Amino acid sequence: MIPVNPTQLRLGVNIDHVATVRNARGSAYPDPIRAAKLAEKAGADGITAHLREDRRHISDQDIDRLMAHLGVPLNFEMAATPEMQAIALRHKPHAVCIVPEKREERTTEGGLEVAREENALAHFIAPLRDAGCRVSIFIGADRAQIEAAHRIGAHVIELHTGAYCDTHAEGRFDEAEAELHKLRDMSALAHSLGLEVHAGHGLTYDTVKPVAAFPEVMELNIGHFLIGEAIFRGLTPAIAEMRRLMDEARGQSAVA
Ligand code: PXP
Query: How far is the C-alpha of 146 from the C-alpha of 130, rounded, in Å?
Result: 21
Catalytic residue among 17, 40, 57, 77: 77
What is the pLDDT averaged over residues 47-76? 97
Residue 229: the pLDDT is 98
Residue 253: the pLDDT is 53
- Taking the CA of residue 77 as reference, the ligand 1 atom at the shortest distance is 3
Residue 175: the pLDDT is 98
The protein residue with its alpha carbon nearest to ligand 1, atom 1, reads 200
Q: What DSSP string runs through 51-97?
A: --TT-SSS-HHHHHHHHHH-SS-EEEEE-S-HHHHHHHHHH--SEEE
The reply to whether ligand 1 has any atom less than 6 angstroms from the CB of 58 is no
How close is the Cα of 51 to the center of ligand 1, in Å? Answer: 12
Write down the pTM of the prediction. Answer: 0.94
Query: How far is the C-alpha of 41 from the C-alpha of 28, rounded, in Å?
Result: 22
How close is the Cα of 126 to the center of ligand 1, in Å? Answer: 24
The reply to whether ligand 1 has any atom less than 6 angstroms from the CB of 108 is yes
The reply to whether ligand 1 has any atom less than 6 angstroms from the CB of 56 is no
Query: pLDDT tens digits for 215-243?
Result: 999 999 999 999 999 999 999 999 999 99
Residue 2: the pLDDT is 44
CB-based contacts of 33: which residues, under 8 Å, 6+ apart?
62, 65, 66, 69
The reply to whether ligand 1 has any atom less than 6 angstroms from the CB of 77 is yes
- Closest Cα partner for 230 from 21, 27, 9, 11? 21
How close is the Cα of 118 to the center of ligand 1, in Å? Answer: 23
The reply to whether ligand 1 has any atom less than 6 angstroms from the CB of 99 is yes
Residue 7: the pLDDT is 58
- Taking the CA of residue 203 as reference, the ligand 1 atom at the shortest distance is 16
Respond yes or no: is residue 201 known to be catalytic.
yes
Query: How far is the C-alpha of 173 from the C-alpha of 150, rounded, in Å?
Result: 31
3-class DSSP state of 47: strand
- Is pLDDT of 251 > 90? no
Q: Which domains does the chain have, with CATH numbers?
A: 10-255 (3.20.20.70)
The reply to whether ligand 1 has any atom less than 6 angstroms from the CB of 30 is no
Respond yes or no: is residue 53 known to be catalytic.
no
Respond yes or no: is residue 50 known to be catalytic.
yes
What is the C-alpha radius of gyration for the chain, rounded to an integer number of angstroms? 17
The reply to whether ligand 1 has any atom less than 6 angstroms from the CB of 97 is yes
Query: Angle between the 143-151 and 173-192 helix axes, to the nearest 10 degrees?
Result: 30
Query: pLDDT tens digits for 3-14?
Result: 444 457 999 999
- Taking the CA of residue 227 as reference, the ligand 1 atom at the shortest distance is 14
The reply to whether ligand 1 has any atom less than 6 angstroms from the CB of 219 is no
Query: How far is the C-alpha of 104 from the C-alpha of 109, rounded, in Å?
Result: 10
Query: How far is the C-alpha of 188 from the C-alpha of 251, rounded, in Å?
Result: 19
Catalytic residue among 17, 50, 57, 198: 50
Query: pLDDT tens digits for 129-173?
Result: 999 999 999 999 999 999 999 999 999 999 999 999 999 999 999
How many other C-beta atoms are found inside a 10 Å radius of the C-beta of residue 216?
17
